[in-house]
Structure 1
Amino acid sequence: MSDGIHSHCNIMMKKRDLVLKNGLRCIADMESVLYIKLEEESQLAVPWAYQAEYGKFTVYLIVVIIFVCFVKKILLKYLDSSENFVLEKRNHQETPSWFLKKTTEKLLALNRYFSYRRLPTAFFSALGIPTSVGTILIILAVIIYTLVYCFVPHPYYRACAGFGSPPLAVRSGIIAIALVPFVFALSGKVNIIGWLVGLSYEKLSIFHQWTSVICLFFSWVHTVCFLYQAFREGGTDGMQYQWKSQLIWRTGVPPLLFLTLLWLFSLLFIRKYIYELFLQFHWILAIGFYVSLFYHVYPELNTHMYLVGTIVIWFAQLLYRLVSKGYLRPGKTFMTSSIATITLKGIGCIELIVKDIDMDYSPGQHILLRTIDKDVVENHPFSIFPSSHSPGALKILMRAQNGFTKSLYLSQCTAKRILVDGPYGGIERDVRSFTNLYLICSGSGISSCLPFLIRYGPLLQETNLRFIRLEWIIRYEEDISWVSDELRYLTTILKRSFLEGRIVIKIYICSSSHCSDLMNPGPQLNGHSFEKGGDGFIVNEGSSRKRTDSPITFENFDKNGSATKFSDCIDLKYYKPSLDQLMNQYDIGSKNCFVCSGSDSLKTTVSNTVAKLQLKVFSKEQIDECYLHTESFGY
């Protein structure tokens, strides 16, 4: 990025020569005393070297955001640890620690009242815009800050190109390259930013995407400014002359091209329908972008040091991932694959059981799964939970949709050799510190929520937990067979807690053939008569449902997994619930944890409802917290 252009120009360029108000010609008078004087004045007014500070300003903002999130993480750890996981009488003595605790809870509730809210999913998701208000606010803060720092300072251009590079071009380029370390850091399945803020990679993925978009925007601003300055003084001939004479012009094309292609291949419709293609191209283009960018900027304004930091962070994260969660993890699975047995469960669902795997995991976590075949490069995230049918084994539920899951469903394989990478994700809070746990899911989202009940159900007498409630919305009654073994296990070992009302499971069956709406109950639906909200029905398609007073067990599952009777511990409902109305009727406790997994519409409803529940933290002294954790794989 040379800061002076002192060479003769051809005749065609002189015809387009820019004439200043003082009569100076930017091309013809490059050797004049006045030209040299004005060049020095221009550099004194806007020093070329000072432009490097804009990269630091960008880094400062992101570091501040990370620091604030880190402080929030520490405060949450403080709140959890202060409970000591033992149910004690509430202490209302106004000590300094009590005041700090109550102040923190009020501030968190205020933050969650806004940040938990979600905007209409269909519209915003189609545009690639996050629906979470909290996420949008953080992204907007970065966008506004960088736009102000880039476009408010003047001048944008120097009077003549020979006076130096356009300040706007340099500023925007520096801001773009300062974002690169964060783009690469946020791309890691294990990353330092996630550890600092207490979030897993799938929740940070949206920030990776938007940091890349902002970087791309400023890269194009950087390019257009140089093109405009050359065109303004010498027309197309001026641009052609710069292209031929300035190596840095030519080296800037590959990184811009790579970054633009990265954005194009990351668009929602490509990730949604050809995710495998996106994943493979992403790595290739990212490597090309990094190498070409390093060659382009070295050693101008020492900006290559941003890229040195980038590769150090990225490599350290990758190495830690391989050793702690990947195929180099010490133990029985070191550089070995595992065997997964495959069973079709219900309608369009696949069950994988993975035995003999050395892995510690928590409820709500997931693994990345690869199959040892032609699709070995593909990487797919799936929630995991312990199998009650095979103690010590992992259970994975998959819905047959497109790509990998569809081909696996149609393959009729009974076993497959796989590589397991993980676990990742999970809840960042200690669930034992809460008094009430609410698990809300739809469809295969049960694989994220049920592990919480399996893990913490037996601990109701040993921790702060006093009540657990599971709401599961499914399309067909046969879908219950996905987790029938686990439900049978829970109703056996925790039957007393079920009967005492400390554990509640409600399953809502809402297939179109026999589903009514909670807001408009009626005695008849599609020729089937049933009592609204009833449970314990014998289901017969095409005939009336009759209530049975028989003892409810899990013993009458036929070979297809259809349930003919259910346990008296589980409440079956044959309608689609209005979740916001249902949740507003909850008798919430002092510290409440909501875990949600399922469709986008489900997560939107639950998020908005929990946001409104924050008002109870302000209005009721006995309610301290309403915390929400959603499972999201929207990358």
Structure 2
Amino acid sequence: MSSMGGMAMGSMSMGNGVPSMFALQQIYWVVVGSAIGIATFVNGLNRLLARYRLQDPSSTPAQPKSLFLRVYATLTAISREISYAKFPPISLGPLVIHFAPLGWILIILANLVTVLVLCFYGIDTSDVWQWESVGYRTGFIAICQLPLIFLLAGRRNIIGYLVDMSYVRLNWFHRWTARTLWLTSTIHMGFWFHDWGRYDYIAYQLTHDPLTKRGFAAWCILTFIVISSSAPVRKLSYEVFVLQHLITFVGLTVAIWMHAPEEVKIWVWIPIGLLVFDRVVRYAWGAYVNIGIFHCSTSRCSLFAHHATFTPFPGNVTRVIIHNPETHWKPGQHIFLTCHRIALFQSHPFTIASLPEDGRMEFFIRAQGGGTRGFADFAEKRRSLEGEVRCGPMFIDGPYGTHRPLRQFDSVVLFGGGMGATFVIPLLRDIVSAWKSEQDNQFPRRKNPSSVTRHIRFIWAVRSRAEMNMFESQIHTVLADVNECRRLSPEFKKEIEISIYITCDKNCHLVPLPHSRSSHENTQSSIELFDLPTNSRNNSVNTTSTDREAEMNCQDKYQKHTTPIREKVCPDTGNCHISALSRDQTSSDSNHSAEESTQLLPSYTNTSPTILSGRPSPHAIIRKSLERAHGESAVVVCGPRGLADDVRLSVVSLSDERAVHKGTEAQGIYLHVESFGV
């Protein structure tokens, strides 16, 4: 990192038709801007397509009808197969390396190739007299990447708004763009060192040249940032990572600003402006949402707008409810939640498990350490002393998160793994609420658009029966609404199938489904809900027991029901790898015969959840839904990495197997994977 003081070189051509270094910086941003522009155009087309489908009066609105829509569907299907694909993980002893989707990797590789071409175009690196030119050129290209890194980092993200992508996904691109910057800076430093090394001049420069000192300091800070941002290090302590990341990025920005000449400092001021913009917007919005004086009509002019109630659940899960929140959100979005009384200066993202019409924000938080452990400990200790556990003030930041609206798809398949249900259950409820709105003639129709979805397949995999109690009321609401739609309209053709898989219950009893005592129980298809015995349900709120103790409480006694249930008891295998044939699996997917499947599993109706032991087969489940689809389908998954990878692989395989939109009548498949972790 030598003196870049000869900045007159920046505006000079290097001969042989090679543009000037300033022009190369502009070319880089033409490429980046074009990519963002194309993604923005596609996002606009998708929005128009969704509106078109919701206004289409035909029986198959999600099916492309015109030549343009068929061509667009074909191009979309091809790009999806490429972008959704994923390389299998590689095991290196105890270390397992997971790969990002191929589409993400191709974008990063395109950025890397662009950077390297701009760095070396027209330069003969075998000529020692051009090494200094490489040093200058790579310095120019390195510093012009800074704005993109900051653009990809903010929660209130301009790129995310244009291309309809959550900051969570953009953060992955942020990290890899930073690694590309590190590589460019290393080449920049390496060629200067290589040039100085011929004269044994490196130590002298690092000792006596201030510009070289600052550049080397910037490279050291950037190296530390890249290492500390790797997943293994980042997940050791998320709170510590966030704090040191902010501090080191400030240090990096200062070091680069001191190293860079005046002519290129604009590339440093732009990131500073983006950072200030992100913080000002977030803090201004946060102040409006969280300070009660802005909402006197609802919060009675208290200083702080939000307080919360805490309820402990089995499995180290805490339910947090904020009543009458002063913000609106969409299904599947998340909030950063802060309670300084419990976890000082800590903010953690949690998916909102309720809908806006519920009048409350509901979160289910599993204790994993840090602030989440503080929530669980607070709920457990305070409940025995104070009865209902209340805490305040609570501060919310958000909502964040985005995906294509699911109401525009003909068939929707939802996979939730464990706490991943907090993401998919609101999506399920949102579609069903649209169905009910269309059928309800007693009340004014909602302003929300209707849904073209005909079929919903909902899969929830849980480790034990105790976890099912968390979302009993939500699933009750869904089934009650569907049954009400059937009562109001005998011609109601929508379908919903709900299956719950118990993957790690030691004794694997299938839980009886008591009849609902709702006003709809006299309809032809009675609503059946899974439930724990009354004693266990009451204990689930007050208990401090572990998962295993809660399961033992649940095994003691079952309520008696008039409807007979076929019960399957798994052998005690001593581990969590119980296997049972799902009714979704065909003979090609399992060694079990169809006759064995009938003997093992309870009877099924599409208005009652089916409870199964074992693990779901995403490939078979998705295929069954696709074969019934009359238009484009959506597959959404939120859960552990293994489940997400299985679903992703199944979507890619089925899309290729069915030759989606490649001369066949098979319809397209949209996939959204919501990731766990940080």
TM interval, short-chain normalised: 0.7 to 0.9
Q: Which moved more, 1:433-442 or 1:104-113?
A: 433-442
Residues in 1 aligned to 2:636 and 2:61: alpha-carbon distance in whole angstroms? 28
Q: Which moved more, 1:248-257 or 1:276-285?
A: 248-257
SS at match of 1:166: helix
**In 1, are the aligned partners of 2:417 and 2:460 still within 8 Å (CA)?**
yes
**In 2, are the aligned partners of 1:469 and 1:503 still within 8 Å (CA)?**
yes
Residues in 2 aligned to 1:93 and 1:191: alpha-carbon distance in whole angstroms? 33
SS at match of 2:661: helix
Q: Which residue of 2 aligns with 1:11?
A: none
> In 2 relative to 1, CA 354–92 (structure 1 residues): closer, same or farther, beyond 3 Å?
closer
- 1:307-318 superposed matches below 5 A: 307-318=268-279
The answer to whether the aligner puts 1:467 opposite 2:455 as a matched pair is: yes
Q: Which residue of 1 aligns with 2:377?
A: 410
1:346-387 CA-to-partner distances (Å, cap 9, x unmatched) read: 222111111131111111000011221373322211100327
**Structure exhibiting the larger radius of gyration computed from Cα positions:** 1
Q: Which residue of 2 aligns with 1:170?
A: 136
Q: Which residue of 1 aligns with 2:119?
A: 150
Identity %: 24
**In 2, are the aligned partners of 1:183 and 1:212 still within 8 Å (CA)?**
yes
1:440, distance to aligned residue in structure 2 (A): 0.9
Which amino acid letter does the alignment assign opposite residue 363 of structure 2? I
The answer to whether the aligner puts 1:117 opposite 2:85 as a matched pair is: yes
Q: TM-score, normalised by structure 2?
A: 0.75
Which amino acid letter does the alignment assign opposite residue 478 of structure 1? A
Which amino acid letter does the alignment assign opposite residue 267 of structure 2? Y
- 1:351-366 superposed matches below 5 A: 351-366=319-334
**In 2, are the aligned partners of 1:351 and 1:397 still within 8 Å (CA)?**
yes
1:273-314 CA-to-partner distances (Å, cap 9, x unmatched) read: 211110100111111111221111031xx2211112222222
Q: Which residue of 2 aligns with 1:401?
A: 368
Q: Which moved more, 1:405-414 or 1:351-360?
A: 405-414
**In 2, are the aligned partners of 1:166 and 1:226 still within 8 Å (CA)?**
yes
- 1:220-619 superposed matches below 5 A: 220-233=186-199, 235=200, 238-299=201-262, 302-324=263-285, 326-329=286-289, 332=292, 336=304, 338-373=306-341, 375-386=343-354, 391-411=358-378, 412=380, 413=382, 414-417=389-392, 418-427=394-403, 429-460=404-435, 461=438, 462-496=450-484, 502-514=495-507, 536=512, 552-553=528-529, 556-557=533-534, 558-561=537-540, 564=558, 569-586=608-625, 587-615=628-656, 616=658, 617-618=660-661
SS at match of 1:569: coil
Which amino acid letter does the alignment assign opposite residue 355 of structure 1? H
> In 2 relative to 1, CA 365–303 (structure 1 residues): closer, same or farther, beyond 3 Å?
same
Q: Which moved more, 1:53-62 or 1:206-215?
A: 53-62
Residues in 2 aligned to 1:262 and 1:122: alpha-carbon distance in whole angstroms? 25
1:578, distance to aligned residue in structure 2 (A): 1.8
Residues in 1 aligned to 2:290 and 2:513: alpha-carbon distance in whole angstroms? 51
Which amino acid letter does the alignment assign opposite residue 631 of structure 1? E
SS at match of 1:88: coil
1:271, distance to aligned residue in structure 2 (A): 1.4
Residues in 2 aligned to 1:470 and 1:491: alpha-carbon distance in whole angstroms? 12
1:138, distance to aligned residue in structure 2 (A): 0.8
Which amino acid letter does the alignment assign opposite residue 79 of structure 1? L
1:444-493 CA-to-partner distances (Å, cap 9, x unmatched) read: 00000010122220222443122222110001011111111222232333
SS at match of 1:376: coil
- 1:193-204 superposed matches below 5 A: 193-204=159-170
Which amino acid letter does the alignment assign opposite residue 261 of structure 1? F
1:55, distance to aligned residue in structure 2 (A): 2.3
Which amino acid letter does the alignment assign opposite residue 559 of structure 1? N
Gaps of 5+ in 1: 6-38, 516-527, 529-533, 539-549
SS at match of 1:468: strand
1:508-565 CA-to-partner distances (Å, cap 9, x unmatched) read: 11215246xxxxxxxxxxxx7xxxxx77479xxxxxxxxxxx9844675431345957
1:572, distance to aligned residue in structure 2 (A): 1.0
**In 2, are the aligned partners of 1:333 and 1:357 still within 8 Å (CA)?**
no
SS at match of 2:504: coil
> In 2 relative to 1, CA 4–353 (structure 1 residues): closer, same or farther, beyond 3 Å?
closer
- 1:74-93 superposed matches below 5 A: 74-90=44-60
The CA RMSD over aligned residues, in Å, is 3.5
Gaps of 5+ in 2: 295-302, 383-388, 439-449, 488-492, 515-525, 541-553, 564-606
Residues in 2 aligned to 1:440 and 1:350: alpha-carbon distance in whole angstroms? 22
Q: Which moved more, 1:563-572 or 1:99-108?
A: 563-572
**In 1, are the aligned partners of 2:410 and 2:629 still within 8 Å (CA)?**
no
Which amino acid letter does the alignment assign opposite residue 329 of structure 2? Y
Residues in 2 aligned to 1:152 and 1:127: alpha-carbon distance in whole angstroms? 37
Residues in 2 aligned to 1:333 and 1:108: alpha-carbon distance in whole angstroms? 48
How many residue pairs get matched?
560
**In 2, are the aligned partners of 1:158 and 1:167 still within 8 Å (CA)?**
no
- 1:180-195 superposed matches below 5 A: 180-195=146-161
Which amino acid letter does the alignment assign opposite residue 669 of structure 2? C
**In 1, are the aligned partners of 2:411 and 2:632 still within 8 Å (CA)?**
yes
SS at match of 1:189: coil
SS at match of 2:422: helix
**In 2, are the aligned partners of 1:128 and 1:267 still within 8 Å (CA)?**
no
The answer to whether the aligner puts 1:70 opposite 2:23 as a matched pair is: no
Residues in 2 aligned to 1:92 and 1:491: alpha-carbon distance in whole angstroms? 25
SS at match of 1:385: coil
